[in-house]
Amino acid sequence: MRAVALTTEQAQDALGGLVHAATREDEQRGRGAFAAAAWSSIAEPGDGVAGHLVRSLGAWEALEFVRGAHTDDLLDPTGPGGQALRAGLARWRPRLGVETLLEIFPAARRSGIRLLVPGDAQWPESLEDLGVHAPHCLWVRGVPDTLQRRPSVAIVGARAATAYGEHVAMEFAADLAGSGVAIVSGAAYGIDGSAHRAALAAGGPTVAVLAGGVDRPYPTGHSHLLDRIAATGAAVSEVPCGAAPTKWRFLQRNRLIAALADATVVVEAGWRSGSLNTAGHAAALGRPLGAVPGPVTSAASAGCHRLLREFDARCVTTPDDVRELFGALMPAEGRTGDAETDDHTRILDALSVRVPRSAEDIARRAGMARGEVEALLALIELEGKTSRGPDGWRRVVPR
Amino acid sequence: MRAVALTTEQAQDALGGLVHAATREDEQRGRGAFAAAAWSSIAEPGDGVAGHLVRSLGAWEALEFVRGAHTDDLLDPTGPGGQALRAGLARWRPRLGVETLLEIFPAARRSGIRLLVPGDAQWPESLEDLGVHAPHCLWVRGVPDTLQRRPSVAIVGARAATAYGEHVAMEFAADLAGSGVAIVSGAAYGIDGSAHRAALAAGGPTVAVLAGGVDRPYPTGHSHLLDRIAATGAAVSEVPCGAAPTKWRFLQRNRLIAALADATVVVEAGWRSGSLNTAGHAAALGRPLGAVPGPVTSAASAGCHRLLREFDARCVTTPDDVRELFGALMPAEGRTGDAETDDHTRILDALSVRVPRSAEDIARRAGMARGEVEALLALIELEGKTSRGPDGWRRVVPR
């Protein structure tokens, strides 16, 4: 195993043109950015012990600590934190020697991929809600500004979507993206792909969050779609170039989708769909969660109904329902179903279209007092729903 | 106008064989039953002033009061209650002389219709939750015992139902009725009819609540269905024989459906469907309310989605979901979508089907400590998902 031993200068060189100009001006930040990238290589996504260490010491210092420089100074092997750290070192150290960290950067540079780290102007602050589970950095293919677009909505769902689900995903994404809402999704087949495509067609911003390196289009069938996303939006990942999209990374990727979006909407999902994992992350982050209902006879909607039942997701049926989720639209005024259960209705019931009736007759039929009936008949006449003739009142049928 | 002036004996005669034997034994109750029937004729359903008066004085005494016997004694025209009563008298008195109360009973007797009043053994106590808006009596065509069947579920919905809605209504009603749950509905075309039919087909109890007199099948196209319902279940109404099903009475009928059932489920409903009125009554009564989701592209499900969004209805997708509503079944244990986001998954990700790998290699790939990996590999081997060979571990693909 070849251990990493880098000077600040070597780190700066390695970074090359990758780190955004604003951060390169500052040597300290450049070194930190290199270390953040290294952490994205040696710790699996969502590793809270790594996150805690980096937050406590800084990325560079935490990396040096892993290299063993100061183990004795910092590690209290008797405490519970010390035990977690020891387990962490056992996870991270085997990777320090295998992946040649310096090779990550040239690979990224060749593919035109940028590195964003916390503190960069374009770093999406919403990721900080993940606490120690926040990513160390983001590898961005495309336009980093897209990550700053607000409001943003995650539209996710089953790969095995139905025509209904894809239709709804497209309707929602096109409408929202058309009004400037950024559409975040996972670039998978089915719902994800429909959402990205509709956002692009609407000329709106869209972000694809990948489980593997952004230089490895996944699924490969969406290679062209990812090219198009990168042209005007962004494809991002927290794992470095070349990293494989493992099942674990897919599940952790879902927390990034939830954290990057102001609200998450699941369009179709089977009973055990990975989209429910994204929904769970949104709920855990306290972000609004919506689910699109579908036929109870459709297995592709079972997960959405489960979200409505078990996760208190909001039932969303229109793009405006989604806007309500993130507060861009106030809920429509509640209108009860019995708005017409009034004396008005009782009088209309008592009127005949053909036979003219006296107010007294109408009062008896409606079960109301004659005085009330006469007052209301005058109003109903004004509305054009009744007419008075020499023999009494008749109902007027609207044309 | 011909005013009603009856002795107790005349009232008893009028009742004939209508009132259930248990009540006929008691002259006082017989007189009360007659008066309750009279109230069902002179006051419109849901008239709270009438309900209050009958509850305060008793049905017979309240009827005598309306006839004017004791007006001066009881009426304080200056108080707000007095004003409501005066308005009530103005509503009720015009009907005392027109409808010949004595004719209601022979008409009912000819059609084999029974009268149930509060206090009868078969009176459904759940109606008392309506307070002063409870019906004065129920006119029952069929088997009065059906009203006592518990648990009971109201399955209601749009007349303009789709094939999907009718399918779900039938599936739910057949399953529930087959296990002895009474199905309450409104005998309308569409969802109501499907629910009744499936309950009958399953040999289960079903109750049709009508807006007009039970001697007037409505809709007329459901005349045969109502005959079948009456043969083993019951068709009931709070208005006497011959009464027309006016719009007002439909809306009030809905409160009886909600009050007779332990839970109400709306299967399909348009945005302004009358079923939402039934749902509103169920919610007002504190009874559990369920809504069946459907495609967001279907106008026939818009009302159900509205119930999920605005009325906090529970999303029901199966008959068991309905049983949960009225407590016959405990909710399934909440299972989160990320049950597999564990070390187990990370190790499986790190295994290859073809290439054997050492525990150290697997630990590095999984980003875990070697000790943990070795312990878990042993477990995973026991599950048959990995096999150990001379060169290391391989993943076993389940057949």
DSSP-derived secondary structure for B181-203: PEEEE---TTHHHHHHHHHHHTT
pLDDT one-digit tens code per residue, A272-282:
899 999 999 99
Q: Cβ neighbours of residue B222 under 8 Å, at least 6 residues apart?
A: B187, B188, B189, B193
Tell me how far apart the alpha carbons of residues A22 and A13 are, in angstroms, rounded to a whole number.
16
pLDDT one-digit tens code per residue, A5-35:
556 666 656 655 555 444 445 667 778 888 9
Contacts B317 to A, Cβ<8 Å: 296, 302, 305, 309
Q: How far does the CA of residue A359 sit from the closest CA of chain B (Å)? A: 12
| DSSP state for residue B19 in the 8-state scheme | B
Q: What is the pLDDT of residue A380?
A: 82
Which range is least confidently modeled, A73-77, B220-224, B384-388?
A73-77
**CB-side neighbour CA atoms (13 Å) of B318:** 13
Residues, chain A: 399
Q: How far are the Cα atoms of A347, B138, B160, B193 from residue B147, in angstroms, in the given order?
A: 32, 10, 28, 18
Q: Cβ(A114)–Cβ(A24) under 8 Å?
A: no
Q: What is the pLDDT of residue B354?
A: 79
Contacts A87 to B, Cβ<8 Å: 369, 372
Asked whether the beta carbons of residue B337 and residue A274 sit closer than 8 angstroms, the reply is: yes
Residue with tokens 């937050």: A55
Q: Cβ(B312)–Cβ(A308) under 8 Å?
A: no
Question: Crossing angle, helix B27-42 and helix B101-110, to 10 degrees?
Answer: 100
Residue B100 has pLDDT above 70, yes or no: no
Q: Decide if A150 touches B, using CB distance below 8 A.
A: no
Tell me how far apart the alpha carbons of residues A104 and B45 are, in angstroms, rounded to a whole number.
78
pLDDT interval class at A353 (50, 70, 90): confident
Across chain B, what does the average pLDDT equal? 86
Backbone angles phi, psi at A189, to 5 degrees: -65, 165
Q: Decide if B253 touches A, using CB distance below 8 A.
A: no
Complex ipTM: 0.76
Coil, helix or strand at residue A184: strand
Q: Decide if A40 touches B, using CB distance below 8 A.
A: no
Which range is least confidently modeled, A119-133, A360-374, B99-113, B356-370?
B99-113
Residue with more model confidence, A399 or A112: A112
pLDDT one-digit tens code per residue, B130-162:
999 999 999 999 999 999 999 999 999 999 999
Q: How far does the CA of residue A227 sit from the closest CA of chain B (Å)? A: 27
Residue B7 has pLDDT above 80, yes or no: no
Across chain A, what does the average pLDDT equal? 86
pLDDT interval class at B20 (50, 70, 90): very low
Write out residues 184-213 of A within 8 Å (CB-CB) of B: none
Tell me how far apart the alpha carbons of residues B354 and A339 are, in angstroms, rounded to a whole number.
69
Q: What is the pLDDT of residue A105?
A: 82
Q: What is the pLDDT of residue A23?
A: 46
Residue with more model confidence, A350 or B228: B228
Nearest Cβ partner for B91 among A167, A337, A368: A368
Contacts A310 to B, Cβ<8 Å: 334
Rounded average pLDDT over A61-66:
89
Q: Nearest-5° angle of CA A152, CA A156, CA A159? A: 155
Q: Cβ(B192)–Cβ(B185) under 8 Å?
A: yes
Tell me how far apart the alpha carbons of residues A263 and A151 are, in angstroms, rounded to a whole number.
9
Q: How far are the Cα atoms of A61, A90, B169 from residue B307, in angstroms, in the given order?
A: 55, 53, 17
pLDDT interval class at B8 (50, 70, 90): low
pLDDT one-digit tens code per residue, B161-202:
999 999 999 999 999 999 999 999 999 999 999 999 999 999
Q: What is the pLDDT of residue B74?
A: 58
Provide the pairing of β-strand B182-185 with B206-209: parallel
Q: How many CB atoms lie within 10 A of CB A379?
A: 12
Which range is least confidently modeled, A165-179, B208-222, B372-386?
B372-386
Write out residues 104-143 of A within 8 Å (CB-CB) of B: none
pLDDT interval class at B365 (50, 70, 90): confident
Residue B3 has pLDDT above 50, yes or no: no
Q: Cβ neighbours of residue B140 under 8 Å, at least 6 residues apart?
A: B113, B114, B115, B116, B147, B214, B234, B235, B236
Q: Cβ(B386)–Cβ(B393) under 8 Å?
A: yes
Q: What is the pLDDT of residue A145?
A: 94
Q: Cβ(A366)–Cβ(A328) under 8 Å?
A: no
Coil, helix or strand at residue B265: strand
CA-nearest of B253, B260, B263, B193 to B228 is: B193
Q: SS3 breakdown of chain B: % helix, strand, coil, rounded to 5?
A: 50, 10, 35
Q: How far does the CA of residue A349 sit from the closest CA of chain B (Å)? A: 6
Nearest Cβ partner for B164 among A167, A295, A331: A295
CA-nearest of A234, A225, A228, A210 to A143 is: A234
Q: How far does the CA of residue B273 sit from the closest CA of chain A (Å)? A: 7
Q: What is the pLDDT of residue B341?
A: 47
Asked whether the beta carbons of residue B317 and residue A296 sit closer than 8 angstroms, the reply is: yes
Q: What is the pLDDT of residue B23?
A: 46
